[in-house]
Amino acid sequence: MSADTSPAIELRGASKTFRTPSGGLHTAVRGLDLTVGRGEFVAVVGPTGCGKSTTLTLVSGLEEPTEGEVLVAGAPVAGVGDKVGFVFQQDATFPWRTVLSNVMAGPRFRGVPKAEAKQKAREWLARVGLTAFEDRYPHQLSGGQRKRVALAATFVNDPEILLMDEPFSALDVQTRALMSDELLELWEGTGASVVFVTHDLEESIALADKVVVMTAGPATVKHIFDIDLPRPRKVESVRLEPRFIEIYREIWESLGEEVRITRERGAAHVA
């Protein structure tokens, strides 16, 4: 079987064009080639609005590519599969469910018996440190706690592929660093392949094995940088290492140019 040797995610010449409300066409992603190995943590950085999130929706099966191919574990993506977990930028916890019920949702949707789902959910709640909050509703939690619920709800499904769309961008800086460390800890136990979209270069270097720099929209891959920082990492300390700063400078040279292009376009739109 090729499934054993094939990479976790493969995009081949994938393009996605949307119809805008005014009737025009908007190309979010064009001719995208990207390979994510098994167990690899890949961060995708690019200027805001360049189509990074679209890449994730293509891999998840929520959207189909207009052109090209998207393969997960060697097989073309057809609809939402059961291998994928997705952590969204905005809050996507179900507000009418308690914390425990939110984490149980995934297994229950997939037909796991209630008692077993509850037990698995409790395990993951313990791992994200929310055991004492299982009877609360999301509105009674802080932003960081809600994010932890979202992480537990995603990990409880044992995803082979973990897609994260700027998951921590709404959190304050300290909470974000804590959550990044927690994410690394949770992930290291699972062996899942991760695609982590962010506009924060520091965050991407601190977390990833590979950083993919996207061009200004329509997005395509500009450069791929290997991050050779040793693991396990602690986000707050790794960013002070000389090697980190070296990598940062190198990647920023590539990313900064795309950011500048995007900004100039924005200015042209205004004028």
Partner 1 sequence: MSPEVISASAPVDTSKQPGRAESRARAARRRKAVVLVARVLLLVAVLGLWEALSRAKVIDPFNFSMPSKVWDQIYTWITHGTALGSLGEQIWVTLQEALLGWVIGVAAGVVFGIALGRIAFLADVLGPYIKVLNSIPRIVLAPIFVIWFGLGPSSKIASAVVLVFFPVFFNAFQGAREVDRNLVSNARILGASDRRVTLQVVIPSATSWIFTSLHVSFGFALIGAIVGEYIGATKGVGLLVAQSQGTFNAAGVYAAMVILAVVALVAEGLLTFAERRIFRWKASDSGH
Interface residues toward partner 1, by CB under 8 A: 60, 62, 80, 82, 84-86, 88, 90-92, 94-98, 105-106, 109-110, 137-139, 153-154, 157
- What is the token pair recorded at 217? 């929209």
- What is the token pair recorded at 216? 């200004």
The distance of closest approach from Cβ of residue 46 to partner 1 in the complex, given in angstroms and rounded to an integer, is 21
Q: Which is closer to partner 1, CB of 109 or CB of 266?
A: 109
Q: Which is closer to partner 1, CB of 84 or CB of 259?
A: 84
Q: Which is closer to partner 1, CB of 18 or CB of 88?
A: 88
Q: Which is closer to partner 1, CB of 97 or CB of 223?
A: 97
Cα–Cα separations (whole angstroms), residue 74 to 5, 36, 63, 124? 8, 11, 18, 29
Q: Which residue's structure tokens are 């393969």?
A: 71
CB atoms within 10 A of CB 249: 9
The distance of closest approach from Cβ of residue 239 to partner 1 in the complex, given in angstroms and rounded to an integer, is 30
The distance of closest approach from Cβ of residue 154 to partner 1 in the complex, given in angstroms and rounded to an integer, is 8
The distance of closest approach from Cβ of residue 24 to partner 1 in the complex, given in angstroms and rounded to an integer, is 21
Q: Which is closer to partner 1, CB of 137 or CB of 252?
A: 137
Output the 3-class SS for 218-246. Answer: CECEEEEEECCCCCCCCHHHHCCCHHHHH
The distance of closest approach from Cβ of residue 136 to partner 1 in the complex, given in angstroms and rounded to an integer, is 10
Calpha distance 107→154 (Å, rounded): 10
Q: Which is closer to partner 1, CB of 6 or CB of 98?
A: 98
The distance of closest approach from Cβ of residue 189 to partner 1 in the complex, given in angstroms and rounded to an integer, is 20
The distance of closest approach from Cβ of residue 223 to partner 1 in the complex, given in angstroms and rounded to an integer, is 29
Calpha distance 125→140 (Å, rounded): 16
Calpha distance 175→37 (Å, rounded): 29
Long-range CB pairs of 74-80 (<8 Å, 24+ gap) are 74/2, 74/3, 74/6, 74/7, 74/10, 75/3
Which among 79, 95, 45 has a CA at the least distance from the CA of 215? 45
DSSP state of 215: P
CB atoms within 10 A of CB 1: 6
The distance of closest approach from Cβ of residue 22 to partner 1 in the complex, given in angstroms and rounded to an integer, is 20
Q: Which is closer to partner 1, CB of 99 or CB of 212?
A: 99
Calpha distance 190→205 (Å, rounded): 20
Q: Which is closer to partner 1, CB of 139 or CB of 269?
A: 139
Q: Which contiguous run of DSSP H or E holds residue 183?
A: helix 173-188
Calpha distance 190→8 (Å, rounded): 14
